[in-house]
Structure 1
């Protein structure tokens, strides 16, 4: 099984009603998940960490990043923070569920 099979299934199945609960308990609505073929190394003035790729974004424009160690991070632009979400893509995909009306 490909490393990102479960991610691709989530990416193509739930369409626009996806949400994820972050480790701090916040629920965020996922706006987009990029195809693996579109993951590129991030080159942005605000990113000072090791190599990472944008793999998705929430409805507020915050990014989900795949770090070079394989983990998935959440970049909150308003807070200026980066927080771990999952140790890998498979675990990240398992956190994404169909959203309800409370997720905007």
Structure 2
């Protein structure tokens, strides 16, 4: 599951590792990975932003990736957009 772009680890991978989804080696660490819901992803994202302020952009990207992959419909994504906007404001 490691995402390597041109020999380097991608920003999404860094963010997902910061959120606790993946290990540093790119292996699944969270038992809910792939079945995560948007609410849980937002909690993990908030904790990661607090714990790893230097990786805010990567965490935001990873949070958006987890939410968009786990959503069953566009309506679920639309419900979470205000929380994502707030996370961006906090991270800025």
After TM superposition, is the score higher than 0.5?
no
Greater percentage in strand: 1
The TM tier, using the shorter chain, reads under 0.3
The two structures have a TM-score, normalised by structure 2, of 0.27
The two structures have a TM-score, normalised by structure 1, of 0.24
